[in-house]
């Protein structure tokens, strides 16, 4: 299996989490801001999930897993503590669904990397199932590269400039030159950033 990293918008997609324990809780916390429609199928759920349920963050089906629970799922997270049930979930998945099997990654077709965000920047690390703890450790080290509290503002500057450049009347090669120039160290300076934004606004 050769997995490729993607960024995905789960807004309005149906995500079914089978199991309501420690791992289901971790995935729920990750998914609750995505706009996905989330269903948890599990006879019992952790206390942390019970409070999220009161906010209406997901629908809880308090029952043992059955194949029909995942019939219209876009994404399925397999997270019970029963290997046989986990296997049944994978076997019962509709062929269009993405499956994250938290017990055995290779049985599924999607895994969650360890990641951190700094404004518009997302850095994610996967060890292909070798060691999620190592992935976490690598990210902790990488995070120190972006400690500067101005970094988020710098990324917003790059984003705004890129939009201005794309929408400008500059020629194609001038646009490319400008996009490269944005990465010059001088733009770590706030004043220089402001000046460039003004220059680009004039090139509409």
Ligand X SMILES: C[C@@]1(CC(=O)O)C2=NC(=C\c3[nH]c(c(CCC(=O)O)c3CC(=O)O)Cc3[nH]c(c(CC(=O)O)c3CCC(=O)O)/C=C3\N/C(=C\2)[C@@H](CCC(=O)O)[C@]3(C)CC(=O)O)/[C@H]1CCC(=O)O
Site residues (vs ligand X, CB under 6 A): 26-27, 30, 100, 102-105, 111-114, 126-133, 135-136, 139
Q: Which stretch binds ligand NAD (CB under 6 A): 15-23, 90-98, 160-168, 188-196?
A: 15-23
Residue 128: contacted member of ligand NAD, ligand X, none (CB under 5 to 8 Å, by partner type): ligand X
Strand partners, 100: 77
Here the tokens at position 177 are 């030159």
CB of 85 to ligand NAD, least distance (A): 4
**What is the rounded distance in angstroms from the CA atom of residue 108 to the CA atom of residue 105?**
5
CB of 141 to ligand X, least distance (A): 12
**What is the rounded distance in angstroms from the CA atom of residue 60 to the CA atom of residue 40?**
5
| Greatest distance between any 2 Cα atoms in the chain | 64
Here the tokens at position 30 are 């990750």
Residue 113 found at the interface with ligand NAD (CB under 6 A) = no
- Geometric angle at alpha carbon 125, from 16 and 97, rounded to 5°: 25
Binding ligand NAD by CB under 6 A: which of 22, 67, 120, 188? 22
Q: What is the DSSP letter of 68?
A: G
Among 143, 125, 139, CA closest to 3: 125
Residue 65: contacted member of ligand NAD, ligand X, none (CB under 5 to 8 Å, by partner type): ligand NAD
Closest CB to ligand X among residues 26, 203:
26
**What is the rounded distance in angstroms from the CA atom of residue 66 to the CA atom of residue 86?**
11
Question: In the range 157-176, which residues lie near ligand NAD by CB under 6 A?
Answer: none
CB of 14 to ligand NAD, least distance (A): 17
Contact 130, 97 (CB under 8 A): no
CB of 74 to ligand NAD, least distance (A): 19
Strand partners, 40: 17, 60
Question: In the range 121-160, which residues lie near ligand NAD by CB under 6 A?
Answer: 132
Contact 66, 39 (CB under 8 A): no
Residue 28 found at the interface with ligand NAD (CB under 6 A) = no
Residue nearest to ligand NAD (CB): 21
Which residues of the shown chain bind ligand NAD in the complex (CB under 6 A)? 18-24, 41-44, 64-65, 79-82, 85-86, 102-103, 132
């Amino acid at each position: 299996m050769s997995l490729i990293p993607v960024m995905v918008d789960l807004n309005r997609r149906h995500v079914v989490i089978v199991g309501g324990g420690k791992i289901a809780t971790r995935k729920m916390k990750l998914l609750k801001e995505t706009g996905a429609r989330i269903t948890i199928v599990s006879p019992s759920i952790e206390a942390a999930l019970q409070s999220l349920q009161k906010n209406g963050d997901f629908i809880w089906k308090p029952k043992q897993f059955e194949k029909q629970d995942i019939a219209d799922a876009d994404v399925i997270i397999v997270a019970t503590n029963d290997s046989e049930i986990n296997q049944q979930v994978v076997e019962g998945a509709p062929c269009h669904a993405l499956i994250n099997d938290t017990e055995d990654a290779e049985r599924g077709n999607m895994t969650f990397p360890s990641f951190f965000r700094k404004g518009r920047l997302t850095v994610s690390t996967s060890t292909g199932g070798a060691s999620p703890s190592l992935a976490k450790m690598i990210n902790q080290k990488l995070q120190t590269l972006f400690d500067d509290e101005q970094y988020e503002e710098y990324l917003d500057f790059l984003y705004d400039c890129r939009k201005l450049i794309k929408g400008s009347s500059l020629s194609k090669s001038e646009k490319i030159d400008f996009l490269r120039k944005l990465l010059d160290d001088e733009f770590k300076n706030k004043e220089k950033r402001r000046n460039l934004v003004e220059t680009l606004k004039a090139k509409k």
